[in-house]
Structure 1
Amino acid sequence: MTKLIPRDSDLLKRGFVMGRDLDTRFSQLLEAIAEHENTTVEMLGKTFASKEIENRRTFYPQLKQVLLEQELDIAEFKKIITNCWASGSRFDIIQFGRFTKEKDANVLIQTLIKNFPQDDAEAAARIDAFTTEAVRLGYQDKKGSPNGSAAAALCSVLLTALFPERFVDYRQSRWRDFAQKVGYDISFPATGSYGQGIVWAGQFAADLAETRTFRRTWNVENPLWAVAGIAWVLPGLKLGESNPMPDINEDDEITTLLRHKKQVILYGPPGTGKTFRANNYIKCLNTHDYEVHEDSLLDQQSFSLTIYEPRDGQIPNLTPGTRFVYDWKGRRNWQTYFDELQEGDVALAYNAVKLRRFTTVVRCTRKEADSIEFEVIQQFNGPSFEDMKNDSGLKESDIVRTKMAFGLKRLSQLELQRIIALSEGLTYESLGIELKKIRETIPNKEFVTFHPSFGYEDFIEGLRPLTTDDGTLTYRVEDGIFKTLSRRAFNVLAEMAGIEGRWNESRSIPHLDDTEKKELLKTAPEVPFYLIIDEINRGDISRIFGELITLLEADKRYCGENEITTTLPYSKEKFAIPPNLYIIGTMNTADKSISLVDAALRRRFGFIEMMPNYSVLRSLPDDKDDEIGEIVDTATDALEAINRRIAGNYDRDHQMGHSYLMKVKNAGSRDDALEMLRFAWYHEIVPLLQEYYYDAPARFNEVIGSKFIKLSPDECSFEIRERLYGDEFLMAVEALANGNREQGQAEPDE
């Protein structure tokens, strides 16, 4: 057979048609954005994604210059990357810091960019090689698992700076969503290769930048940077969405219960669509990731130094430039911070005897095994202990809770921020600290399945073993999925409400005043977070939730009328559940009846029963083949007959749901429908019934009949008969559906 190769004119025509369609769809998207932003399409070129585009215009040329130097200046390279918003979240930057400390990082970067290939396949292979090696050199998460997406993001930033006409900074979900919104004709590569994904995203961005609509709206140098800016902003928009918790929703039953109870459980027999309904509810809300922006110290550190006069000297009286020795010799507590302190780090000296306030900025100039030499940088009028104790941001902090009873302590970002705010003559600049603007993408939904071995440690927090670099086995407190999601929900809510306080890792939930809490509560419905717990009754719920079961109630949430804050047992941190976190659970009543669920849990959840819905199966489109409809009707009648018998000789909680037969309904032909029914029958329905009635053969026979099982003469055992095929199988199912006496009574073998 001769393979037809399109002529050049055919290719040009095809490209023209694709470009024209892309231009139309992109134009429609811009109109929707303009309506959302209450502006015109023409104005979008000046206002939309302007900060993201400007960030790229500012730092990518600087990055290119550093990369093209004969020898890479790692310090300057690191400084620029931390300013590139597309390089990732805070933890991505921390991984980047680990990566750049490796001596092989410089070599790896040079290997990536030197003689970079023009061929897309070769380019993708080189990107994948870089990503794999970067993971080995530092791009790993807190558990040591590879974080290839962050390594790929760094790689894409480097390539975008060097080849702005070919590549864009890359996060897979952003570019896939963007392409779907404009109906891009070239599908995302299915291989899972980061290299192919980055090449594809560059091609998509280049095609979009060539459309007439884009060129008319963004007439800029390096247009792919502008396309990337749009891709970064787009997920945060709620195009076409209404209030996330409206009065009337596509599933207003769930919405009403969540509004009043904050958590709901969908319960019923297996196969009734509980998980589907929960996921579909979230999907209908068009839930999306949020972007939060905050100033971060990243890997810069500062300390609090406690001075006891006269032993440590008259530090508040020393002039800048004066040096003094701080004696350690093991008499001070919190040795871990002494070990962390490095030469060049700054500390705020607190006079613990006479003044009981912060007075002096000092810098570590030399550290010995049992002493530290400090140089005085400046004197300032800092907060007293009473000031800090009365400050809403510091009253629950470690420095206040310990009453400054330590020699040396590393200050958290919040502690440093509040001390600066309460001081005269103290700024980040005077401390030599540069705040970095960090943008972090936070998903607003999580999915978890409970099981018998799932515990409090997985859900809230627990101790996990950790092997140190020297091989010593130790333990650390690790957050569970619910605690992590609670922190995310709080931080996004706080930013949206314009509140400074953040709930940082290894810290208690921030203390807010009444005004801030009212603002938080008012904003909560606009920033919903969702946790779906599948098979919630398969876990030991009382053990998993522990003391937090009380905090679930709406009025006991953070900012609630009867707010409760508890201290967690492992970390000793203060914990509360934010008001914008909603829980949707699913519960299979064949595993455990609702009557067996702990009363405390039942009181705190709303419940929605989901039973088999036969109308869902029978609601076929008008153009559906009549022969398919007949098979669907037969299958549905059989399911109804089986469920009537189960309810009669077992209980209603063990009926079988309609989802077992949904594939039959969706079949494209009679043969497909019959095969789908046969598959569901022998591989799902019969095995489940066999499990129900494994010790009750006679009752099993009452349900399914002699065409499918064979009773022993004494009716004490049974075996599954040889499988039926084709119309013979369909006739047996139809006989069961019609309640045929032969189907109702089995004949014991002689």
Structure 2
Amino acid sequence: MGRDLDTRFSQLLEAIAEHENTTVEMLGDKFASKEIENRRTFYPQLKQVLLRQELDIAEFRKVIKNCWASGSRFDIIQFGRFIEEEKAAILTIQTLINDFPQDDVEAAARIDAFTDEAVRLGYQDKKGSPNGSAAAALCSVLLTALFPESFVDYRQSRWRDFAQKVGYDISFPAAGSYGQGIIWAGQFAADLTETRTFRRTWQDEHPLWTVAGIAWALPGLKLSEIDPMPGITTEDDEITTLLAHKKQVILYGPPGTGKTYRANNYISHLNAHDYEVHEDSLLDQRIFSVTIYEPRDGQILDMAPGTRFLYDWKGRRNWQTYYDELQESDVALAYTAGKMRRFTTVVRCIRKEADSIEFEVVQQFNGPSFEDMKNDPGLKESILVRIQMACGLKQLSQVELQRIIALSEGLTYESLGIELKKIREIIPNKEFVTFHPSFGYEDFIEGLRPVTTEDGTLTYRVEGGIFKSLSRRAFNALADRARIENRWNEPGSIPPLDDKEKKELLSVAPEVPFYLIIDEINRGDISRIFGELITLLEADKRYGEEHEITITLPYSKEKFAIPPNLYIIGTMNTADKSISLVDAALRRRFGFIEMMPDYDVLRNISGNKDGGAREIIDIATDALEAINGRITANYDRDHQIGHSYLMKVRDTGSRDDALEMLRFAWYHEIVPLLQEYYYDAPARFNEVVGSRFIKISPDERGFEVRERLYGDEFLMAVEALANTNHEQGRAEPDE
């Protein structure tokens, strides 16, 4: 039930997002916000009132009027009658909530008893008929305030409609009382909160209140009926199992067996979404590090705030790029080299000349020493430490600045005049790439790319490839879900985490899956493309896992690891390369699922299909099956022809359309593919398709495709191919 419910709930959210002109990830901040906020505000107040030793009916009435399920005008009138006998009303409420039973049967009986008594005390319509639904709504509000982990405020029609929209497997109690209905609604809401889709979209202290808000907001949308998506198939469960154990899987088989379709469809079934990541950012604010050598650059530790000094640049400093980027009014953290070897002073650029900088002292602070930085998990792999602070000037990355502030006394973002800005980034959680012979490590991981500067100079810089970029996105989304502040910035190394943080990452990894589909994976030089990362692919070598491996990339020198929530689905055409020829190291790290021609897919057509179209589909399917039998016999099973070549034939609605589509597939797709297979084996090609379609030369060393057939003549020739006695169709050499 869990995955199917998750799928259908995700589909419902997609419909809501489309209606609201937003994304599913943004629904967490926008959708049903008024209804959810009502519960966050007033239900805790109601709980406080109910738990007091003496129930104050006046205060109780004031709070209950604000609570969603009991706050309509009609319910207020009914509530007024209910509390006319104040003592009886108080006793009825206390009888409900005191020592409330844990057992569902006893709880339902307690709720029904309250409803009956509330009706007796005043929950009746103007004609004096019992209004049990209004009494049950009041009861559900009381229980929701007191037990938010088990109950939701209740209106039967809202919860039944909601459950139908997501195809909830546990049906509403057929002959249920109000008590059974209220308990059922609480269970339904709790099951929804356990889905990955809900946890990905909402993170609330009381998630059932969020589900209740959705239930109350849904009717106002007037969405059309949403049919549940088909359940995940057994084949998809096979992919899920392999990904859980191996983290990557390859779908392999002959051409046209639906490998790419299945890979994309698998992700679609799992309702892969873009993720919204929240993080603090410096945006366009720059902070630099400047290394001071005393006494050459001045005794800055003795300088009071406001003192200015000249920093010589010509001929003795490195990293001209950062000197060019520095602008007047930019702030830098001064690192005092020599014996001190510590960050000590905040300075500001007052004036910059071609060969010097005039700095002004802003403040002194007790910053980290070089040893402190070497021992800090966030700085020990930074460029600052790797070059032992031997840089005249360098712009600090956000992570470097964050760690320096954390290790300093008297230094804050505010004292530096920095305002961290909250940014929201929508990041896609899937990528599609096709391998080919010229695809390399530089495209997949990272490499040097030529760049022309503004003055026309040609230079090179390191740029990340598709896998490195996706790994970074997967980690950041995972860290955001795990409420870990560290981010994998670009450029930069994967941030080091402590054991507790890594454990939290692993616990939420299944909730934030990222996928890379590699089509035609065997057409690339896999060993060269993956390089040293081939070892990191193993499930237990992922970041945070028991045998985690982190490497240093060759170009950028950044630390890299593969996050545990990144999955790879590859497709392999065995007509290009047999699975037996795949690198053994790769085979050990991937799970493999074979996909062969599936004739049942072609024969499984709707019952109202045109009779003439059905006949042609049957003939085409029989012919395909016979041809594949011959290919297996005289070539091998890896070069069979997949069913997808005939899917357009299956999907036609009339005999004429089906015949025309079959003719197109035959002459433009199937025959050219067979020509490629048998270009140097005319006799074997002849065995497969027969004399109606090819003729072979007298010496049997060549062949040519005969003039194309049309209409019923073509259909009869295809039908003849389905004859198991293929000797009947054997072509003879031309005289």
- Decide: shared fold, TM above 0.5: yes
Matches within 5 A, 1:584-623: 584-623=569-608
Contact 1:268 1:610 in 2 (8 A): yes
Matching of residue 668 in structure 1 with residue 659 in structure 2: no
Q: Does 1:408 align with 2:399?
A: no
Of the structure 1 ranges 377-386 and 671-680, higher mean CA displacement relative to structure 2 is found in: 377-386
Q: Mean Cα displacement is larger for which, 635-644 or 299-308?
A: 299-308
Matching residue of 1:299: 284
Partner residue of 2:370?
A: 385
The code of the aligned residue for 1:392 comes to: P
1:334 to 310, 319, 331: 319
CA distance in 2, matches of 1:291, 1:630: 51
User: Which residue does the alignment assign to 2:247?
Assistant: 262
Paired position in structure 2 for 1:521: 506
- In the alignment, what sits opposite 2:132? none
Equivalent runs, 1:5-404 vs 2, <5 Å: 43-44=34-35, 46=37, 251-404=236-389
Distance verdict in 2 for CA 1:240–1:724, change over 3 Å:
closer
Q: Give the conservation status (yes or no) of the 8 Å contact 2:720–2:729.
A: no
Match of residue 535 from structure 1:
520
CA distance in structure 1 between the aligned counterparts of 2:404 and 2:687, rounded to whole angstroms: 77
Deviations 1:566-608 (A, max 9, x none): 1111111111111111000000000000001010111110000
Query: What is the one-letter code of the residue matched to 2:733?
Result: P
Offset from partner CA, 1:374-431 (integer Å, 9 cap, x none): 1111112222222222222212212222222222211111111111122222222211
Per the alignment, residue 645 of structure 1 pairs with 630
Q: Aligned residue for 2:639?
A: 654
**Structure 1 SS opposite 2:536:** helix
Partner of 1:14: none
Sort the Cα spacing of 1:665 and 1:461 in 2 relative to 1 into closer, same or farther, 3 A. same
CA distance in 1, matches of 2:389, 2:332: 14
Deviation at 1:495, TM superposition (A): 1.2
Counterpart contact for 1:447–1:531, Cα < 8 Å: yes
Partner of 1:195: none
Residue of structure 2 equivalent to 1:19: none
C-alpha contact (below 8 Å) 1:736/1:743 kept by paired residues:
no
Offset of 1:317 from its aligned partner?
2.0
Instruction: Check whether the contact 2:17–2:24 (CA below 8 A) recurs between aligned residues.
Output: no
Please tell me the residue identity of whatever aligns with 2:701: C
Q: Does 1:476 align with 2:461?
A: yes
Q: 1:27 to 1:470 in 2, by over 3 A?
A: closer
Question: Counterpart of 1:251 in 2: which secondary structure?
Answer: helix
Assess, with a 3 A threshold, how the Cα gap between structure 1 residues 240 and 518 changes in structure 2: closer, same or farther. Answer: farther
Identity of aligned residues (%): 79
Deviations 1:130-186 (A, max 9, x none): xxxxxxxxxxxxxxxxxxxxxxxxxxxxxxxxxxxxxxxxxxxxxxxxxxx9xxxxx
Report the Cα offset of residue 476 of structure 1: 1.2
Q: Report the equivalent of 1:570.
A: 555
SS in 2 for 1:347: strand
Q: Is the 8 A contact 1:264 1:606 kept in 2?
A: yes
Structure 2 CA distance for aligned equivalents of residues 29 and 347 of structure 1: 49
Report the CA distance between 1:453 and its aligned residue: 0.9
Amino acid at match of 2:266: Y
1:744 aligns with 2:690: no
**Deviation at 1:33?**
9.7
Which segment is superposed worse, 505-514 or 39-48?
39-48
Q: 1:309 to 1:340 in 2, by over 3 A?
A: same
**1:308 to partner: Cα distance:** 2.0
CA gap of 1:28–1:441, structure 2 versus 1, over 3 A, is: closer
Between the aligned partners of 1:448 and 1:420, the Cα distance in structure 2 is 41
Distance 1:258 1:501 in 2: 27
Bigger-Rg structure (1/2): 2
Which letter does structure 1 place at the counterpart of 2:554?
Answer: P
Separation in 2, partners of 1:422, 1:444: 35
Deviation at 1:217, TM superposition (A): 7.6
Q: What is the letter of the counterpart of residue 329 of structure 1?
A: K
Which residue identity is paired with 1:466? V
Name the structure 1 match of 2:697: 712
* Equivalent residue, structure 2, for 1:446: 431
Given that 1:269 and 1:655 are in contact with CA atoms closer than 8 Å, whether structure 2 keeps it comes out as yes
Q: Is the 8 A contact 1:464 1:478 kept in 2?
A: yes
Runs of 4+ in 1 over 4 A off after TM superposition: 25-30, 36-42, 45-48, 239-242, 246-250, 740-743
Aligned residues: 540
Aligned to 1:467: 452
1:493 counterpart residue number: 478
Contact 1:42 1:217 in 2 (8 A): no
Deviates more, 1:560-569 or 1:451-460: 560-569
The TM-score, its normalising length taken from structure 1, stands at 0.68
**Aligned partner of 2:423: which letter?**
I
Q: Is the 8 A contact 2:243 2:249 kept in 1?
A: yes
Relative to structure 1, is the Cα distance of residues 528 and 47 closer, same or farther in structure 2, using a 3 angstrom cutoff? farther
Higher alpha-carbon deviation: 503-512 or 630-639: 503-512
Contact 1:334–1:407 (CA<8 Å) still a contact in 2? Answer: yes
Alignment match, 1:71? none
Change (3 A) 1:40 1:364: closer
Q: Secondary structure in 2 aligned to 1:551?
A: coil
How far did 1:740 drift? Answer: 4.8
**Structure 1 residues 696 and 602, CA, compared in 2 at 3 Å: closer, same or farther?**
same
Matched, 1:628 2:619: no
Counterpart position of 1:421: 406
Specify the code of the residue in structure 2 equivalent to 1:690.
Q
Name the SS of the counterpart of 1:552 in structure 2: coil
Are the structure 2 counterparts of residues 40 and 288 from structure 1 closer, same or farther at C-alpha, using a change threshold of 3 Å?
closer
TM-superposed CA distance for 1:314, in Å, is 2.0
Q: Which residue of structure 1 lines up, in the alignment, with residue 497 of structure 2?
A: 512
1:702 is paired with a residue of what secondary structure?
helix
CA distance in 1, matches of 2:235, 2:427: 25
Cα separation, 2, equivalents of 1:321 and 1:540: 61
Deviation at 1:38, TM superposition (A): 13
CA-CA distance at 1:562 after TM superposition? 1.3
3-state DSSP class of the match of 2:348? strand
Distance 1:506 1:41, change over 3 A: closer
Q: Bigger CA drift: 36-45 or 366-375? A: 36-45
8 Å CA contact 1:273, 1:657 repeated in 2: yes
Q: Is the CA contact 2:348–2:359 (under 8 Å) kept in the aligned structure 1?
A: yes
Deviation at 1:248, TM superposition (A): 8.6
Residue number in structure 2 paired with 1:682: 667
Q: Do the aligned residues in 2 keep the contact of 1:254 with 1:264 (CA within 8 Å)?
A: yes
What's the secondary structure of 2:371's corresponding residue? Answer: helix
User: Equivalents in 2 of 1:613, 1:309: separation in Å?
Assistant: 78
Q: 1:591 to 1:250 in 2, by over 3 A?
A: closer
Q: Which deviates more from structure 2 when the two are superposed, residues 419-428 or residues 702-711?
A: 419-428
Q: What residue in structure 2 maps to residue 188 of structure 1?
A: none
Report if aligned partners of 1:537, 1:597 keep a CA contact under 8 Å in 2: yes
Q: Matches of 2:694 and 2:233 in 1, distance apart? A: 49
Name the amino acid aligned to 2:625. E
Q: 1: distance between equivalents of 2:707 and 2:563?
A: 57
Alignment correspondent of 1:64: none
Tell me how far apart the structure 1 counterparts of residues 233 and 647 of structure 2 sit (CA, whole Å).
28
